[in-house]
Amino acid sequence: MADYAIILNQGKQQRVVPGRSILVDRLQKQPGEAVELDAVLLVSRGDQVIVGQPTVPGARVVATVLGDERGEKITVFKYKPKVRYRRKQGHRQDYTRLAVNRILLADESE
């Protein structure tokens, strides 16, 4: 098994380690479902580092959906001086928490 990997998920790069959980933008999956992320940009295993061009062929990350969460509330405030223009709006991003199970290379199977 690999020590860590860098994945590309929904336009964002994230470092994943087996046994830890990550937050990704909301996925339409139920808790307990398995998710396979195949856009792996880099895999590190001990002294060996495999860098993809742009992805590592055959590498994938196997994770399990733990559930959905909401992020911190942010305030979006638009303001133009001298014209009495003010708009205040809040936003909370929806996330899905994934438990990373394994990082597999092309020559490995589950």
Return the CA Rg of the chain: 19
Q: Quick check: 110 pLDDT over 80?
A: no
The span from the CA of 61 to the CA of 105, in Å, is 9
Identify the CA nearest to 66 among candidates 96, 37, 27.
Answer: 96
CB 38 within 8 A of CB 84: no
Contact 96, 68 (CB under 8 A): yes
**Burial of residue 101, with CB atoms counted within 10 A of its CB: 0-12 exposed, 13-18 middle, 19 or more buried:** middle
Kindly report, residue by residue over 25-50, the tens digit of the pLDDT: 999 999 999 999 999 999 998 888 99
Q: Where are the domains of the chain?
A: 4-104
| Tens of pLDDT, residues 53-97 | 999 999 999 999 999 999 999 999 999 999 999 999 999 999 999
Overall size of the chain counted in residues: 110
Q: Are strands 94-104 and 21-25 parallel, antiparallel or unpaired?
A: antiparallel
